Structure 1
C-alpha cells in the first residue's frame, strides 16, 4: 500500500508544482502572451506641422492617408491577396507574398497610401473573398507646388521624421507627438465590438513660416537649370536674400530635388550645396579685398597703383584675363572694373598680412554663417602663423581658399547692409511666435560700404558685369571666374566657378542675388551675369521694389 500511496503523493506534488509554476512564476509571461494574441496596438501618427512661405503659400503639409497591413495568420488566401495588391498598388505579386505569409500577427504591406486607393484595395480583396488585410489611418507629406524648393524643404521618412533640409533642421517643432491605439481582436483579426479599447491621442506638430518667396524660388530654379544646360556646367547655384535681415528669398543647387518622387534622387540633390560644399570663390572676393583695404586706411578708391602685366606670387605668375603685356596705372575702382588679378595682388600687399587676415575674419570668411540648414561647413582658409605673403597674394583675387557660396553671399551682403553682417536664415515664425535672430557684427564702416557699393556700380555700368544690369534699377555687382582645383593639386583647364554677386537698388538694397556655375568653360560676364539679371528682376518685382527710372 505504501508504494501506490507514495506514487500518488509524488504525482500530487508535481501537479501542485506545475500549478504554482503556471500561476505564480510563469503566469505574467503567459498572460502577456495571451494579451498580445488577442490585442493589437498601432501607432497613431501625429499630423506634422505645415510649412508656409513668407506670403502664406503652403509649401508642405500633411494629409490623411492610409497604411495597409495584414495578420498573416488570418489571411485566407495569400496568393489571391498578393495578386490583388499588385494590381492595385503596383509591383508584382511576389513583392507582397513574403509579408502575407510571415509567422506573426501584424505586418505592414504599404504605408502612405491615398485613402481612395486604400479603400479600393480593401473592396477588391473583399470581392475576391480574401480576409486578413486591414487599413489604418495615417499621414503623409504633400507639396502644393510640386518639386519646387525640394532641397530646402527636405525629405520626410516613412516613420514621419525629417531626414534632410528644414524638415530635419526643425523636426522637433514640426513632428508633434504620436499617439497609440490598442484594440481587442477576434480570431478573424477584426476588432471585437465592446472589447477592450485604449487610445492615447496624438499631438499635432507646430506650423512654421519660412522666408522663401515661392515665385522667386520658381524663377531661380528655372533659370539655373536652363543656364546649366546652356553653359555646359557641372552644377549651378543660386542664393537670393534680403541683405538687411538675412532672410533667404530663394536658394537652390543642381541637380534639383523632386520631393514628389525621391525614388531616383541623386545624392547631390539631397542637400543645398551652397551650404554644405566649398569652392574657390574667384574674383567676387575682390569686393572683400577692396573693402578691407579702404576700411584699414591702406588706400582709397582713387589711390593709384602701378600695375604690371604680371607679378610673381610664390611659384606662380599671376596675369590678367585681358592678355595685357604692358604696365598700367590703376585705381581700386579700375582694378575692380577690369577685374585685374595683378591689381588685386598689389592691393593685398598694400594691406599686409595681419590687417588682411583681420579683415577676412571681420567679413566672416572661413567661419560658419549660422544658417539654419543642416551640414554647414566653414571652408578651408589658411590663418594664423601659417598665413604668408603668398597666401595673401592669391587670396586677394579669390584663390587659395575654399568656402561655401553662402559665405561669399553673406560677406557681400554686409556691404549692402552698411557694413553689418547678418545671419542668413529661413525660419521667420514658429507657430505664432516671431523668431528673433542675433544682431549682426560690424564688418566695416558705413562709409567704406558706401564707397565699395559705388565701385561695384561702376563694374555694372562700365565693367565686366554689364550683362547683370536690370532695367529701371541701379545695380551694384562683381563677377568672379575662379579656377577649380584638380586631384593633382593644380587647376583644371577651362573649368571655372563662374559667378556674379550683386544687390539692388544700389543706394537702398532690398535684394542680393548670387549666381554661380561650377565647372564651366565660360567666364561669368557671359554666363552668370545674364542669369543674375533675370532672377534679380523677378525678385525686385515680387518684393514690391519700384523701379528707380
Structure 2
C-alpha cells in the first residue's frame, strides 16, 4: 500500500512539477528582441531605427580560464577585463550575458577568437542617425528596447512590437545540444511612425537657440515652431540637449523638452490674452485711451512700467506697443473686469494642458479669481502670478495667427504607415468673437514696428508679436532682483503659411531680448518653406 501510494504521488500528483523541473534542467530560455518601429520626420528621413546587432552570452561552466577569456573579450569589446569576469564566473547557472547589442562587426571579431563557452544571438540595436538633433523629442530606450523618455516612451506600445522566445536544449553540465532548439517563436516587429518634425529645421532651431542663450547670457532657453493651421510641431527644443546615442554625460534637464514639461510666468507676452479678451467683449478699441500714472498702488505694493516715464495718456495700441504694465492693468480693471479676464483665460486654454503627445506635459497654474487680491489681479493682466508652458502660449497665439480663432492640439504624430491608421487631432474654437482678431493683429504689428519688438522684424514680411519680461522666483519663493526670463512670440500675418514661433531665455539681465533669435528662425523658415507675403 505504501509503494502504491508513493507511485500515485510521483506519477499523478507531482508529475507536472517534476516534469517542469526536468525540462528546466535541460533547457535554457532566451527572449528574442523584436525590431522596434522606425521613426521618420515629415520628409521621410530616419530619426530612429533598429539595426542588426549581436548579443554575446556565455556558459560559465564551460569556461576554464576566466581571466584569459575576459582579457580577450576586453581587447575587442573595450573596457577593463574585470567588467567581463563577473559574467564569466557566475555560479549556479549555464547562461549569463557577456554584452548585449554589440555592433555586428565587433560580434564577428569576438566570434573569430573561438573562445570556449562564448555564444552569440542575433539581436537589434537602436540607433539615432542625427545624434543630439531632436534627441529630447525622440527620447531614450533601455537595453531591452523599452521606451524610457520622450516619444520612445509615449508611443512605446506601438513601437516596441512583441518579443519572441528561443528555448535551447542542453546536456550534461549545461553543454548545448547541437540542433537542440525546442521552441523558436519569432518576435513581432513594432510599427513605424512619421512625425511632424522637419529634422533640418529642427537642427537650425537648436543651433540658433543655443547661440542665443550664450549670446544673451542666459541659463537655458526654449524655442517652438508651430503650424497654426494644423497643430503640427515643426521644431521644438530646450537647452541643454540630449544625445540618445551617447549616455556617458547626460546633463540635468536634458531628458525632456522643457517647452512642454515646465511651467513659467510668461510676463508681457501674456498681455495679448488680456487685450484679446477686451477686444472680444467690445469693451475697447485700439484707440481707447487710458490715463497712466507713473505707478499704481495695490495693497502694500507699487506697480510700474519697466522703463521710467512720466505720467501720460496712452491709447490701447500704445499700451501694448510700449508694454505698459500700468496701462494694461487699468484697461482691464476699467473695462473688462478681473472676473471677465479670468473667464477668458480659461476659455483660451491658458490654464490647462494642451494634450500634446509627449510625456509629462505641464498644466497651468492659476488660482480662482475669488481669491485674488488687488495686486494679484493687476499682476495677472500682464503675465505675473500665473504660470503656463511655452507650448500653451504658442497654441493661443496660433489661434490669432490662423485668423479663425481656432486652436489645434499641438502634436508630433502625423502618420502610422505600418497600419495605415488615420491620425486625427482635436481643434477648438477658443476666440468666439473673431472680429477681435484683425484689430489685435494690427496692434501686435505695432509692437514690432513702433514698440518693444523692433528687432524682431523679418525682412520682406509684416511681423506681429509681443515681447515679454518676467520676474522669476528663487527657492525661497521671492522674486530675484535684476534678473528676468525674457521671451518673444509672434507670426507673419498676411503670409501664405501661419507659422508661430516662441523663443524664451531664462535668468538673464533685463537689457537684452530674444527678438533676434525669433527673427532668424522665422527668416530661415520663410526661406525653407517658400512663404510669400500676400
What TM-score, normalized by structure 2, do the two folds share? 0.95
Paired residues for 1:522-541 under 5 Å: 522-523=510-511, 526-541=512-527
Q: Find the aligned partners of 1:509 and 1:391 in 2 and give their Cα distance.
A: 38
Out of 533-542 and 285-294, give the one that drifted further: 533-542
Partner Cα separation in structure 1 for residue 462 and residue 175 of structure 2? 71
Tell me the secondary structure at the aligned position of residue 408 of structure 2.
coil
Which runs of 5 or more structure 1 residues have no equivalent in the other structure? Answer: 1-12
CA separation of 1:508 and 1:301: change in aligned 2, threshold 3 A:
farther
Q: Does 1:348 align with 2:332?
A: yes
Structure 2, gaps ≥5 residues long = none
Q: Is residue 450 of structure 2 the alignment partner of residue 462 of structure 1?
A: yes
SS in 2 for 1:434: coil
Question: What SS is found at the alignment partner of 1:437?
Answer: coil
Shift of 1:64: 1.2
Equivalent position to 1:93, from 81, 88, 99: 81
**1:122 matched to 2:111:** yes
1:401 corresponding residue in structure 2: 386
Partner residue of 2:279? Answer: 294
Task: Give the match's secondary structure for 2:531.
Answer: coil
1:256-279 per-residue CA deviation (whole Å, 9 max, x = no partner) reads 111110232124111111111111
Tell me how large the CA RMSD over aligned residues is.
Answer: 1.9
Note if contact 1:417-1:509 (Cα within 8 Å) is conserved in structure 2.
no
User: 2:66 corresponds to which residue?
Assistant: 78
- 1:50 to 2:38 alignment: yes
Quote how far apart the aligned CAs of 1:33 are: 2.9
- State the shift of 1:28 in Å: 3.7
Distance in 1, matches of 2:363 and 2:376, equals 18
Question: Aligned ranges for residues 49-68 of structure 1 at < 5 Å?
Answer: 49-68=37-56
1:328 matched residue in structure 2: 312
Q: Is 1:32 equivalent to 2:20 in the alignment? A: yes
Shift of 1:347: 1.9
1:52-78 Cα shifts (integer Å, max 9, x gaps): 111111111111111111111122321
SS at match of 1:494: coil
Q: Distance in 1 between matches of 2:408 and 2:224?
A: 15
How far off its partner does 1:314 sit? Answer: 3.0
Other-structure match for 2:410: 424
Quote how far apart the aligned CAs of 1:318 are: 1.1
TM-score (norm 1): 0.92
Deviation at 1:194, TM superposition (A): 4.3
Contact map agreement 2:496 2:532 (CA 8 A) in 1: no
Alignment check: 8 A CA contact 1:162 1:168 kept: yes
- Residue 510 of structure 1: how far off its partner (Å): 1.9
Q: Secondary structure at the match of 2:472?
A: strand
Deviation at 1:143, TM superposition (A): 1.2
**SS of 1:428 mapped into structure 2:** strand
- After TM superposition, give the deviation of residue 345 of structure 1 in Å: 0.9
CA distance in 2, matches of 1:440, 1:315: 41
Contact 1:365 1:407 survives alignment (8 Å): yes
**Does the CA-based 8 Å contact 1:289-1:347 persist in structure 2?**
no
CA distance in 1, matches of 2:103, 2:179: 30
Which residue in the other structure is 1:9 paired with?
Answer: none
Q: Distance in 1 between matches of 2:439 and 2:380?
A: 21
Aligned to 2:322: 338
* 1:326-369 Cα distance to aligned partner (Å, 9 max, x none): 21111121011111111111122121022111111111111111
Partner Cα distance (2:242, 2:431) in 1: 35
- How far residue 490 of structure 1 moved from its aligned partner, in angstroms, is 2.3
2:149 and 2:261 map into 1 onto residues whose CA distance is 12
Q: How many residues are treated as equivalent by the alignment? A: 529
Provide Cα deviations, 1:121-167, integer angstroms capped at 9, x if missing partner: 2222x1xxx31111111111111212100110110111111111111
Cα 1:150/1:455, change in 2 over 3 Å:
same
Q: Name whichever of 376-385 and 248-257 sits farther off.
A: 376-385
Residue 397 (structure 2) aligned to one of 389, 412, 423: 412
